[in-house]
Amino acid sequence: MSQQDNHSLLKEAYAQYAVADARPLPPGKMTFEQFLIWADEDTLAEWVEGEVVLMTPASLRHQRLAGFLMVILREFVTTYDLGEVLFAPFLVRLPEPLKRAREPDLIFVSKERLYLLKPTYLDGAPDLIIEITSPESLERDRGVKYKEYEQSGVKEYWLIHPDTCQGEFFQLQEGGYRQIYPDEDDVYHSRVLSGFKLRLNKLWEEVQ
């Protein structure tokens, strides 16, 4: 992929990764279908037990990380025809009994599961979810969402921490998530994306 192509993809990611707007919250609870009607493509919000949860504005460092990860993941997935990489805003409706529609920073959906893609959301668990944390979201991403994604069968969950330049990586195994650590060269090896290596030192260098 050329430098110009990388730049175009980054611009696309940044343009679509908009912060939640100031639209008034609807009164009371709503169904998921009502939530889809209320929200628009520029709204960063989640649906939790019938209630709307607006997302907080993202930092510049958060944006750069999301854009860089999107570029390298899309290049890998496209090269090997593995499926599709999507970035927020795009809802993931977690399977029942959870009544949740989350807005992960990035997701990967394998070719075998592309049938779950609807025009405005994914109706089920993706193969990989990436959340880029902030001080406001850390507890939720590491606690509530961790449990939801584990229960939903998300095979791999990455937590990228811009403030500490660290990453946590979890792979679903029998009995739940198991944390997988980077190797001695600070390289994480994905299981869902077989052959993909995330060089953490390079990741932090790219978003300074």
Q: Is the preceding peptide bond at 89 cis, omega within 30 degrees of 0?
A: yes
What is the number of helices (H) and of strands (E) in the chain?
A: 6, 13
Contact of 17 with 62, CB cutoff 8 Å:
no
Sign, Cα dihedral of 187, 58, 42, 147: positive
b/e sequence 158-184, b meaning 16+ C-beta within 10 Å: bbbbbeeeebbbbebeeeebeebebee
Average pLDDT, the chain: 85
Q: What is the pLDDT of residue 125?
A: 96
- What percent of the chain has a predicted confidence (pLDDT) above 70? 86
Architecture per CATH, domain 59-206, reads as: Alpha-Beta Complex (3.90)
**Dihedrals φ, ψ of 115, to 5°?**
-65, -15
Model confidence at 13: pLDDT above 70: no
Model confidence at 60: pLDDT above 80: yes
Domain ranges of the chain: 59-206
Which of the four pLDDT bands, split at 50, 70 and 90, describes residue 5? low
pTM flag (> 0.85): no
CA-to-CA dists, residue 133 to 53, 57, 62, 116, angstroms: 17, 12, 8, 26
Which of the four pLDDT bands, split at 50, 70 and 90, describes residue 122? very high
- Among all chains, which residue has been given the structure tokens 């944006």? 63
Interval 15-38: pLDDT, tens: 444 333 446 677 778 888 888 878
Q: Output the DSSP codes for 75-113.
A: HHHHHTT-EEEEESS-EEEPPTT--EEE--SEEEEEGGG
Distance CA 163, CA 150 (A): 25
**Phi/psi zone of residue 78: left (φ > 0), alpha (ψ -120 to 50 degrees), beta?**
alpha
Q: What is the pLDDT of residue 18?
A: 39
Contact of 108 with 90, CB cutoff 8 Å:
no
117 burial (CB, 10 Å; 0-12 / 13-18 / 19+) is middle
86 closest CA partner among 39, 54, 45, 118: 118
Model confidence at 189: pLDDT above 70: yes
